[in-house]
Amino acid sequence: MEERKGFGSNFGFLMAAVGSAVGLGNIWGFPNKMGANGGFTFLVIYLILAACCGIIVMVGELALGRKTGRGAVGAYRVLSKKFKWLGWLGILSAFLILFFYCALGGYCIKYVVLNVGDLFGAGFGSNGLNGAEVFGAFMGNQMEAVIYGLIFVLLTMIIVMGGIGGGIEKVCSVGMPALFVILLICIVRACTLPGAVDGLKYMFVPGWALENGVIKEAPDFLTVLSTAGGQMFFSLSLGMGAMITYGSYLHKKENIEKNALLIVIMDTLVALMAGLCVIPGRFALDPTGSLGGPSLLFVTMQNVFHKMPLGALFGILFYLLVVFAAISSSISLLEVIVAHFCDKARDAGKGDKRKTYSLIAAVFVGLGCILICLDSLGGAGISPFNILGIEKDVNGNLPMWCDCWLDFFDCISEGILMPLGALLMCLCIGWELGPKMVDDECCLEGQSFKMKGFFNICVKFITPLCMLLVLYGQIREFFF
């Protein structure tokens, strides 16, 4: 039977896993949520949740993957009687997230091109329009969005076709350190702008956002907790089998516990660093601009680059950084799908057919991506609320799940499937298989599992409880 090829080195694995974790969620999610939910207090809550849920689920997923040497579907099928089907939930989440991730990745490529145009005063630049006008024009041209989205899908597919060692590991080993360097450059630029300090206060000083009218109402504690939990999940790529899949390619001699810890630390660090790059820029140069979501990336930040000396240059760097972050995540998502089908083909003695399966999966992803691009973030009259005839309330608001196709897929995956996936994973490990299975896997070849006691308690009681809470909070926020 053909060999299942894995990561060439622990560094390669770590960069790929950190690459999966570091993505759009760090850039437009974390900094804003931190500012709006109590600054430093939010950070502390986030870190506590990361310790008793994030690291636990991360260790659990890596162990499940490595023990079985199978992707998400195969891992649960081999190990569990009650949760045989759980891997399929991961494949479904991967598709849904890929739909919007690739569309947005395409937008980022467009913005790199746009800023290159600006730098050279070429016709394909922003032509002196402000951020909102630039984005409006782009959103009015759906065909262009579709083309860029499909370019992003194509890039993702090509890397995944190269396999773990040949494609994913190589790209991430270069791309992640590059991302870090670019991020540092952008931070220095942003934090030295006059007025940048307000951004730092927004992010770090508890209560500042409320006192200064950036938010109208203080969120209640449950909201803060579930916002932090939901963000953590999505940000660490947990609850949908991405880490099971990457773990399945990890060599038995490597230390799971140490790697899990490093992934969590680096993802949080990059989220904080991304905040130091985007938020001060917004407060210095676009004080009324959006603080999160796509409009932060594509309107506010473009305004910031317009007003900054040599802005086009920093614009190119910044959007390149976002493209790197997005692509290293999208390849992990596609790999969740491809790995499963390759496993099946290999078990049947047909070789792994990686290229074929990458192509087929990419075609489906491309279709979803086209839908998101045609929808123009809800502006084209084809969104779920249009189709279902859901009316806006007196304030002109809609529940988030139906306001555009991007949010629809996001709410189902991030809002329901991921926390549910993690909850069930904990039940599977804690109550069906027993935490000893993870302990054994973490202690192979002379390694040790130092937080064994902590892990056992968390995986059985604390983490599932937190997950229930997150699930409740997300459903309340996204669907009502």
The site for Na ion (CB under 5 A) is made up of 21, 23, 25-26, 235, 267
What is the C-alpha to C-alpha distance for residues 391 and 404, in angstroms, rounded to an integer?
A: 14
Contact 408, 98 (CB under 8 A): no
Nearer to Na ion, 327 or 342 (CB): 327
Q: Does 98 contact ligand PFF by CB under 6 A? A: no
Nearer to ligand PFF, 24 or 134 (CB): 24
Nearer to ligand PFF, 224 or 333 (CB): 333
156 binds, among Na ion, ligand PFF, none (CB under 5 to 8 A by kind): none
Nearer to ligand PFF, 242 or 402 (CB): 242
- Minimum distance from CB of 28 to ligand PFF (Å)? 9
455 binds, among Na ion, ligand PFF, none (CB under 5 to 8 A by kind): none
What is the C-alpha to C-alpha distance for residues 480 and 474, in angstroms, rounded to an integer?
A: 10
- Residues 6+ positions from 309 with CB-CB distance below 8 Å: none
Nearest alpha-carbon partner for 334 in 71, 75, 83: 71
Stretch that binds ligand PFF, among 21-29, 135-143, 213-221, 394-402 (CB under 6 A): 21-29
Q: Does 235 contact ligand PFF by CB under 6 A? A: yes
Nearest alpha-carbon partner for 419 in 461, 458, 457, 475: 475
Nearer to ligand PFF, 65 or 311 (CB): 65
- Minimum distance from CB of 329 to ligand PFF (Å)? 4
Q: Which residue has the tokens 């859901």?
A: 390
Nearer to Na ion, 21 or 297 (CB): 21
Q: Does 231 contact ligand PFF by CB under 6 A? A: no
Nearer to ligand PFF, 20 or 303 (CB): 20
Taking only Cα atoms into account, the Rg of the chain, rounded to an integer number of angstroms, comes to: 22
Choose which of 20, 32, 115, 456 interacts with ligand PFF (CB under 6 A): 20
Q: What sign has the CA pseudo-torsion 447, 448, 451, 452?
A: positive
Nearer to Na ion, 245 or 456 (CB): 245
- Cα-based torsion angle of the residue sequence 175, 178, 180, 181 in order, rounded to the nearest 10 degrees: 180
What is the C-alpha to C-alpha distance for residues 106 and 447, in angstroms, rounded to an integer?
A: 42
106 binds, among ligand PFF, Na ion, none (CB under 5 to 8 A by kind): none
- Minimum distance from CB of 475 to Na ion (Å)? 22
| Count of residues touching ligand PFF (by CB under 6 A) | 15
What is the C-alpha to C-alpha distance for residues 210 and 62, in angstroms, rounded to an integer?
A: 40
Q: What are phi and psi of 447, to 5 degrees?
A: -80, 165
The count of C-alpha atoms lying within 13 angstroms of the C-alpha of 437, restricted to the half-sphere facing its C-beta, is 21
Compute CA 310 distance to the chain's CA centroid, rounded to the nearest angstrom. 30
240 binds, among ligand PFF, Na ion, none (CB under 5 to 8 A by kind): ligand PFF
Q: Does 97 contact ligand PFF by CB under 6 A? A: yes
* Tokens representing residue 74 in the block: 């195969």
What is the C-alpha to C-alpha distance for residues 416 and 419, in angstroms, rounded to an integer?
A: 6
Binding track, positions 25-64, relative to ligand PFF; x by CB under 6 A: xx--------------------------------------
* Tokens representing residue 317 in the block: 């760097």
Binding site for ligand PFF (CB under 6 A): 20-21, 23-26, 97, 234-235, 237, 240, 242, 329, 332-333
